Amino acid sequence: MVSHTTHIRVRYGETDKMGYLYYGNYATYHEVGRVELIRSLGMTYKSMEDEHGILMPVMNMEMRFVRPAHYDELLSVTTEVREMPEKTIVFRTEIRNEKNKLVNGGRIKLCFISAETGKNVGVPDFLREKLTPYFEATQD
């Protein structure tokens, strides 16, 4: 398993008239979580697109909204990849507030598309190599 935590402070423009972080903005926070998890592996999602020509569109997403997040709260965003990706990759994210209470949890599945051909190409080798050490069986 790979896990990474980053922090995001709720911006004024991200709140809504209820005074909460607008529900549509959580997808962006999950995106930041994914991107920072990839950066923690020693590569960037940007280089995947720009240098390797791999796009990662989202296929589906599930989220539950447990309690509201408010303006100026510093949220912790913990993102995990629990299974070695093959055709697709699944990121699980939990967002907690400053009291460590769960705000939002979700699961987002993405695929790997060649920017050139538009075809689904599965997990690229350079990402597989970065991820393999985290998924090697611990044998007795």
User: What string marks each residue from 80 to 119 as x (binds a copy of itself by CB under 8 A) or -?
Assistant: ----------------------------------------
d(CA 12, CA 9): 10
18 binds a copy of itself (CB under 8 A): yes
Residue 82, classed as helix, strand or coil, is coil
> Given the rule CB under 8 A, which of 30-38, 85-93, 95-103, 124-132 is the region that contacts a copy of itself?
30-38
What is the nearest approach in angstroms of a copy of itself to the Cβ of residue 89?
A: 14
Stretch of 57-65, 81-89, 92-100, 119-127 contacting a copy of itself, by CB under 8 A:
57-65
At 137, list the tokens: 């069986």
Residue 123: alpha-carbon gap to chain centroid: 16
Which residue, among 98, 88, 81, 76, has the nearest Cα to 34 in the 3D structure? Answer: 81
Position 63 contacts a copy of itself (CB under 8 A): yes
Q: Does 27 bind a copy of itself (CB under 8 A)?
A: yes
Interface with a copy of itself, residue 22, by CB under 8 A: yes
Cβ atoms 91, 132 nearer than 8 A: no
Please give the Cα distance from 16 to 70 (Å, whole number).
10
- Choose which of 64, 136, 137, 140 interacts with a copy of itself (CB under 8 A): 64
Token pair 């903005």 is found at 25
